[in-house]
Amino acid sequence: MRVPFLNRPATVAVLRLQGAIGVAIRGGPALSDAALAPLLERAFKRRKPVAVALALNSPGGSPVQSSLIGARIRRLAEEYDIPVHAFVEDVAASGGYWLASAADFIWADDSSLLGSIGVISSGFGFAELIQRHGIERRVHTAGRSKSMLDPFRPETPEDIERVNRLLGPIHDAFKEQVRARRGARLPSDRDLFTGEIWTGREAVELGLADGIAHMVPKMRELYGKEVRFLTYGQRVPWFRRFGLSADDFIDSIEERAAFARFGAGRG
């Protein structure tokens, strides 16, 4: 006979991290430190879980928000002495992999995509287009670098130099994070920081993941067949439950484009 509260099954807290990483600018949900902080706090504190499982599906996004979220996960894991398992679904790329690396163990599906350990800055140039149509661009700044990478004027060597100066330290921080978290599991004779992506099986062979596994069977294997799952997720604002607004449509397009970069489009 099971004695209530004394012999109950172990609990695994499940936190779903899905979508692009960044601060919501149109009121919708986003993977940001501010949005996830209360969920993470509850996941680690409530019912004293034996583990926290991250259901992860993200093409990346803001390097700062990736760092903040990852650091919060580590602080809570160490404060409460609870192991963290990341289960990669379709993709954990760029900032998505940064979040995965915050876990103690990374599990993936054979067809999951992991990696893209790099930094990107992209945009468009319309200088020739507006010239061709007789449009004059007028910009006045206080500070000669204020209009850096203005898409309506030709790109200059100085612009490129400034961008590379910004991208380099961010990339270094990403590499430092992965090396610190994966340690000796990474090969010493392979450069994994080129922005390349790998399938789940390849990621395991390269030390970027620990094995091929799905959440429920793996957690039951590790913590008992009767383990219970307590899921935490971001709430959808009530006014968004009644239809798709123009802002929702834009958000959806942007997120689909981010996933599509890795061949992991969402239906």
Q: Report the catalytic residues.
A: 94, 146
What end-to-end distance do the CA atoms of the chain give, in Å? 46
For the chain, strand residue ranges (E) read 11-18, 51-58, 84-93, 105-108, 113-115, 197-199, 211-212, 228-232
Contact 57, 82 (CB under 8 A): no
Ramachandran angles phi, psi of 21, nearest 5°: -100, 130
Coil, helix or strand at residue 5: coil
Contact 64, 30 (CB under 8 A): no
- 43 membership: H or E segment, kind and range: helix 33-45
If 0-12 CB within 10 Å is exposed, 13-18 middle and 19+ buried, where does residue 89 land?
buried
Q: In degrees to the nearest 10, what's the CA dihedral of 30, 32, 34, 40?
A: 100
Query: For residue 137, which of 126, 148, 146 has the smallest C-alpha distance?
Result: 126
